[in-house]
Amino acid sequence: MASSNSPIEKEPRPIGRKAAKAKRGSNSTKNASKFLEEISGHQAMRIQMDMKTQEHDRAMQLEYAKERENVHQQNIEKTYWETMAMDTSHMSLETKQFWKLE
């Protein structure tokens, strides 16, 4: 038997080839699972961002459509008042009737 102060007994035994391969394999599967979880988290965040962007785009389109409708109504009203303000004193009787009915 060796003495209790021997440095050989205190050093840990080196890991074998099979154990080292098994350890490397388990680390790679752990890393892969972490990586897949991270990817799924990024995909969920991206989906949420896309949904927010789509909602914002829809809101902008509705606002733009309302604005276009408002401008259209203003143009119709402007045309109406221009027609009503038209001087008909120099027009023929038929033309006066046309513009009064308009």
Alpha-carbon distance of 83 to 95, in angstroms, equals 12
**Residue 64 near residue 57, CB atoms below 8 Å:** no
pLDDT tens-digit readout, 44-93? 999 999 999 999 999 999 999 999 999 999 999 998 888 777 777 788 88
What is the pTM (predicted TM-score) of this model? 0.48
